[in-house]
Structure formats: structure tokens, C-alpha cells
Homo-oligomer: A and B are copies of this chain.
Amino acid sequence: MAGVSTDPADLAVRRATRTALNPDVVLDAALTLFAQRGYHGTALSEIAEVLGVRTPSLYNHMGSKHDLLRTIVDRTTAGVLADFHRVLDPADTPTRQLREATRVYVHRHATHRREALVVNRDTGSLSEPAFGEMQARRREHEHALRAVIAAGVAAGEFRVESPALASFAIREMSVSVARWFSPEGALSAEAVAEQYSAFALRIVGAS
């Protein structure tokens, strides 16, 4: 935009293509670009451009660039935990618990790919206390999954030498679905989630 046209017809075109801004659309645009280019690889001016406004206008709808990241990470990690707790029925067998926990985890990574990509790549750019809070939620999920596997081993349902290793393997293969999954692909998110939870049960040697 080296020379901004003041021709009334041009101004009308720009208004017509302009999105009505609000915090949600700003966050959504940020999410898309952060996922594509990374947090540091995305300039606020790029977010402004896709929204059809100038960079300073974003500040009417957001606090700071860091706030965008923090919000994305907080919501995503809280969502992961909420999924887990929603499907975890203490009365269930470890086998069923692991299957369900894996299924919702994979499903989230297939259906919220942008969030997953950002959370997996850019949490190192969070300032405290956001960084510490993110780590605590991540650790909570990790320990809970590991506990399911350990309970399965203790109950004789699973045969695996290291519940910790199995937990890492299962979590990480699930997270990485976000990297390759495409809604236009041959498999639905549900199908992938089912297959991956079957893989999880195989990893732990579920009988």
C-alpha cells in the first residue's frame, strides 16, 4: 500500500471487503497466521491485512500480540483437559479409559489443527505466568494419561514395560495428527481418532 488511493470508488471497495472487527475475528486471524508462520514469523501487520484494517486498529480489539498467544494457549490447553475429564469415567476399565482419552485427544488435534500447531510450536514465547500455567496443564494431562496406563498394568489389562514411555508415545503420535490431517483427506477425524485409539491399546499391549 505504497500509495493509498483516496478515490471514492476505491474507498468503497475497501469498505465492502472489510470484516466487521471484534476480538473473536482478530483472534481467529491470528490463530490462522500463527499456525502457518509461527508467532514470531507473523507480524501484526499481516493480521491487520487479512482483516482489511491498519495495524493500530487491532488494538481496539486486543491487548497485545502476546495476549493473542496467551489466549490461544490457555483456551486450547484448558480444552484438552476438559475433554479428558469429560470422557474419563472412574468406573470404566483402564482399557476403555485409554481408548476414550486417546480418541478425544486425537479428535481435537484433527479438528482444531491451528490451535494444536501453535501450542506445539510457540509456547516458548509465553511470558510468565502464562508459561507456567500452560506447563501445569500440560503436565496434568500427561500424568493423568500415565496413571490410566499404570492402572491398566496393575490390573493386568496392559502389558507394557514403561507406562511413562507408552504415555509419551501415545500423546505425541496423537498431537502430531494436527500436522498432516486434512478434512478433505480420505479419512474423517472420527475414523482417524478410532484408528489411533486402537494403536494406543496396541502400544500398551491391551488384552
Q: Which residues of A contact B (CB under 8 A)?
A: 36-38, 40-41, 121-122, 124-125, 161-162, 165-166, 168-170, 172-173, 175-177, 179-180, 187, 192, 195-196, 199, 202-203, 205
Are the C-beta atoms of B165 and A176 separated by less than 8 Å? no
Contacting residues, chain B, for A173 (C-beta < 8 A): 168-170, 172-173, 176
Decide yes or no: A196 and B180 within 8 Å by CB, A41-B125, A124-B36 being known contacts: no
A169 to chain B, nearest CB (A): 4
| A124 partner residues in chain B, CB cutoff 8 A | 36-38, 41
Give, as a whole number of angstroms, the nearest-CB distance from A179 to chain B: 7
Choose from B161, B199, B205 the contact partner of A169 (Cβ within 8 Å).
B199
Contact A165 B195 (CB under 8 A): yes
Set of chain B residues within 8 Å of A125, measured between Cβ atoms: 38, 41
CA distance A172 to B122 in the complex (A): 18
Per DSSP, chain A at the interface is helix
C-alpha spacing A164/B201, complex, angstroms: 18
- From B170, B176, B199, give the contact of A175 (CB < 8 A): B176
Partner of A192, one of B40, B41, B165, B180: B165
A168 to B109 CA separation, bound complex (whole angstroms) = 14
Knowing that A38-B40, A38-B124, A170-B173 are A-B contacts, what are 19 other residue pairs whose CB atoms are under 8 Å apart, sorted by A's residue number? A37-B124, A38-B38, A38-B121, A40-B40, A121-B121, A161-B195, A162-B187, A165-B195, A168-B173, A168-B176, A168-B177, A169-B173, A172-B172, A172-B173, A172-B175, A172-B176, A176-B176, A202-B205, A203-B203
